[in-house]
């Protein structure tokens, strides 16, 4: 009988089909918020008590990030028949490495790293979009950067900062100034001096960003 594995979120169809192809007929995979009763392995970071108790065939679950959440640890205390495993990769750490790669002057690698993090955690925090958009800005792919940054549904001040610089590069100064206004709404203390504290390896990259922000209307 095939082993039934349930992934507790919806994933990209292409990636799901590839996984099914690699595993073959010995494993049945389902996805989504509700796990079928036949589930033997549950992949989910924070299952509820009702969820665990309703899955009578459940033998193990995999936490798709590093560490064991406190609430999950408490659930396991009374369910010692379940085996628990972690994945070896942490999406947030992978995404944070992309920030370092960008400042080191390796934005192409940062883009690859961010996309990997997004695959690892399809429900990733919104700040991933800002980091990815900034990497595309550093590469010089401004239209792609704009498209990426617009997907940030919880933009913070750095999202607006990067958008302002991107709009300048695209010759859209009115839109750039609008982003500067939003930047100061999110962080009224922001100044261009803030960029001097960013760990750029290449000073010309820092100066390019500062010059773009000056054109967008950020005061000296």
* Cβ neighbours for 99, distance < 8 A, ≥ 6 positions apart: 110, 131
Query: Residue 41: phi, psi to the nearest 5?
Result: -130, 125
Share the mean pLDDT of the chain. 90
Q: Look up the pTM and report it.
A: 0.63
Q: Could you tell me which residues are beta bridge partners of residue 41?
A: 5, 60
Place of tokens 């989504």: 32
Instruction: Assess contact for 165 and 137: CB atoms under 8 A.
Output: yes
Q: Which of 50, 24, 47, 29 is nearest to 39 (CA)?
A: 29
Q: What is the pLDDT of residue 95?
A: 83
Sign of CA dihedral 44, 50, 53, 57: negative
Q: What is the pLDDT of residue 162?
A: 97
Q: pLDDT digits over 34-59, tens only?
A: 999 999 999 988 889 999 999 999 99
Give the chain's domains with CATH numbers.
Answer: 3-86 (3.40.50.720), 91-216 (1.25.40.10)
Decide which of 120 and 73 is more confident. Answer: 73
Q: pLDDT digits over 177-216, tens only?
A: 999 999 999 999 999 998 988 889 899 999 999 999 999 9
């Amino acid at each position: 009988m095939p082993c039934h594995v349930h992934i507790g979120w919806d994933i990209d169809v292409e990636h799901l089909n590839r996984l099914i192809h690699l595993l073959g007929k010995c494993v049945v995979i389902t996805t989504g918020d509700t796990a079928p009763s036949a589930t033997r392995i549950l992949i989910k970071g924070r299952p509820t008590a009702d969820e665990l108790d309703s899955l009578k065939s459940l033998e193990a679950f995999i936490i798709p990030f590093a560490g064991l959440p406190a609430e999950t640890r408490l659930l396991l205390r009374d369910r010692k028949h379940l085996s628990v495993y972690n994945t070896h990769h942490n999406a947030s750490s992978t995404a944070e490495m992309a920030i370092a790669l960008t400042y080191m002057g390796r934005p192409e690698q940062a883009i690859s790293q961010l996309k990997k993090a997004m695959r690892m955690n399809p429900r990733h925090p919104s700040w991933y979009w800002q980091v990815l958009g900034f990497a595309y800005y550093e590469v010089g792919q401004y239209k792609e950067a704009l498209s990426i940054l617009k997907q940030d549904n919880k933009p913070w001040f750095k999202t607006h900062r990067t958008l302002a610089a991107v709009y300048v590069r695209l010759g859209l100064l009115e839109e750039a100034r609008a982003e500067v206004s939003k930047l100061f709404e999110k962080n009224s203390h922001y100044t261009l001096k803030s960029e001097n504290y960013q760990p750029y390896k290449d000073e010309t990259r820092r100066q390019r960003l500062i010059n773009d922000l000056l054109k967008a209307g950020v005061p000296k």
